[in-house]
Amino acid sequence: MATDQTSVRPVTKAVVTVAGLGTRFLPATKATPKEMLPIVDKPAIQYVVEEAVAAGLDDVLLVTGRNKNAIENHFDRNWELEAALEAKGDLERLKRVRESAVIADLHYTRQGDPRGLGHAVLCAARHVGQEPFAVLLGDDLIDERDPLLTTMLDVQARHGGSVVALMQVPRDQINLYGCAAIEGEPDDLGAVTIVDLVEKPPVADAPSNLAIIGRYVLDPGVFDVLRETDPGRGGEIQLTDALRRMAVSGEHGPVHGVVFTGRRYDTGDRLEYLKTVVRLAAERADLGPDFSTWLKGYVTEELGR
Ligand code: UTP
């Protein structure tokens, strides 16, 4: 149902997918989900859950795979640790340790076989029910200074249907992403209409350089479409394929895109992960000054040789 009231957002639930194999990070991810890798001193997944909460979605379902215990434990109380920190009088760390346990109303479901992002989203069907909902990829970080999800929720409230986050990438990298064909000019929220989607197209066939990034607001009709979606690229059930059908047919409402121009960190890729850690460490008030001084020296003296 379309509405012009951007202030009325029907979305209350977020689904965060963390069930992938994380093969690019092996062997680190043999026994630990990649979403638990630290970005300085906080695991990537915590940034993502905090982002959902900041957008007003504090009912968060994590779709987990093997090794889910580390994630569940991170978002749980750790009485022994808390008692030890309290005894030492380390109240600052105590606060940070407790924070992750009260962050949101967290739920968990298992994907079982990691049969693709579309399949992971389908695992959320029972929890989500008949409401529109957000999907956040657990290894994809959006800088809190550049809120994206809030805009996407506003777009969904205005137009109904589904909303996909897009980002311009260099043309020769579009084959690494889902790619969107759009129509028309952006409205005042920056929303464009998506008319086609294709998962990881060859560069020569890509309809644009607009890549799908890891944020979605979806109509619950996507579950019916996913149930009928055959495995696609890589033998996986692709969310992009289901959204393509919705965009082309118009069933379950329009599919809009929001072109994001802010800071995004793809922590599932080793090079991007390293850049993220360096950048966020350099910006930290506590570590930044010392780290930046060392980094400048390292770059000019060691790498400059
Ligand atoms: P990726 O495409 O990064 O795949 O998944 P991956 O398996 O996690 O990592 P690599 O490529 O082997 O290194 C994107 C997002 O979708 C989730 C992942 O956890 C990540 O958040 N995902 C992917 C699932 O939850 N289940 C799947 O079957 C596949």
pLDDT tens-digit readout, 120-170? 999 999 999 999 999 999 999 999 999 899 999 999 999 999 999 999 999
CA torsion angle for 81, 86, 92, 95 (degrees, to 10)? 60
CB 197 within 8 A of CB 224: no
Distance 236 CA to ligand 1 centre (A): 10
Alpha carbon of 175 to ligand 1 centroid (Å): 17
Domains of the chain: 5-268 (3.90.550.10), 269-305 (no CATH)
Q: Which parts of 2-127 are beta strand (E)?
A: 13-18, 38-39, 42-43, 59-64, 105-110
**DSSP per-residue string spanning 124-160:** THHHHTTS-EEEEETTEEE-TTS--HHHHHHHHHHH-
- Reported as a pLDDT band with limits 50, 70 and 90, residue 303 is confident
Return the residue whose CA atom lies nearest to atom 17 of ligand 1.
20
Is residue 6's pLDDT more than 80? Answer: no
Taking a C-beta distance cutoff of 8 angstroms, is the pair 55, 153 a contact? yes
What's the pLDDT tens digit per position in 229-269?
A: 999 988 999 999 999 999 999 999 999 999 999 999 999 99
Atom of ligand 1 nearest to the CA of 17: 25
Q: Which atom of ligand 1 is nearest to the CA of 113?
A: 28
Give residue 9's pLDDT band: very low, low, confident or very high (50, 70, 90).
low
3-state helix, strand, coil in the chain (%, to 5): 40, 25, 35
pLDDT of residue 144: 94
Q: Per residue in 158-201, pLDDT tens?
A: 999 999 999 999 999 999 999 999 998 899 999 999 999 999 99
How far, CA to CA in Å, does 298 sit from each of 4, 130, 155, 279? Answer: 54, 54, 45, 15
* Residue 21 in this model has a pLDDT that exceeds 70: yes
Q: What confidence score (pLDDT) does residue 8 get?
A: 60
Mutation pick for ligand 1 pocket among 15, 17, 123 (CB with most ligand atoms within 8 Å): 17
What DSSP string describes 222-285?
HHHHHHTPPP-GGGS--HHHHHHHHHHH-TTS-EEEEE--S-EEETTSHHHHHHHHHHHHHH-T
Q: Whose CA is nearest to atom 5 of ligand 1?
A: 20
275: confidence class by pLDDT, cuts 50, 70, 90: very high
What pLDDT does residue 105 have? 93
Helices (H) and strands (E) in the chain, counts: 11, 13
- Asked if pLDDT for residue 7 goes beyond 80, the answer is no
Residue count (the chain): 305
Distance CA 48, CA 97 (A): 17
**Closest atom of ligand 1 to CA, residue 116:** 28
Which SS3 state, helix, strand or coil, does residue 107 take?
strand
Q: What is the mean pLDDT of residues 30-34?
A: 92
The reported pLDDT for the residue numbered 66 is: 79
Q: Which residues, judged by CB distance below 6 Å to any ligand atom, belong to the binding site of ligand 1?
A: 17-24, 63, 111, 114-117, 119-120, 137-139, 268
> Once rounded to an integer, what is the mean pLDDT over residues 28-49?
95
Q: CA 158 → CA 7, 128, 150, distances in Å?
A: 9, 21, 12
In testing the pocket of ligand 1, which one of 137, 142, 226 has its CB within 8 Å of the most ligand atoms? 137
* pLDDT value, residue 4: 45
> Which secondary-structure segment (H or E) carries 199?
strand 191-199
As a whole number of Å, the end-to-end CA separation of the chain is 62
Does residue 191 sit in helix, strand or coil? strand
Instruction: Give me ligand 1 centre to Cα 21, in Å.
Output: 6
Q: Do residues 20 and 34 touch, judged by C-beta distance below 8 A?
A: yes
| pLDDT tens digits, one per residue of 66-101 | 778 899 999 999 999 999 999 999 999 999 999 888
Residue nearest ligand 1's atom 3 by CA: 268
How far apart are the C-alpha atoms of 221 and 225, rounded to whole Å?
7
* Nearest residue (CA) to ligand 1, atom 16: 117
pLDDT in tens, 219-231: 999 999 999 999 9
CB 136 within 8 A of CB 231: no
Q: Tell me, in angstroms, the distance from the centre of ligand 1 to residue 83's CA.
A: 36
- Kindly report the backbone phi and psi dihedral angles of residue 207, in degrees, each rounded to the nearest multiple of 5, phi listed first: -75, -10
Ligand 1, pocket-test mutation among 60, 111, 117, 272, most atoms within 8 A of CB: 117
What mean pLDDT do residues 204-227 have? 97
Question: What's the pTM value of the predicted model, to 2 decimals?
Answer: 0.94
Test site for ligand 1: of 15, 16, 21, most ligand atoms within 8 A of the Cβ: 21
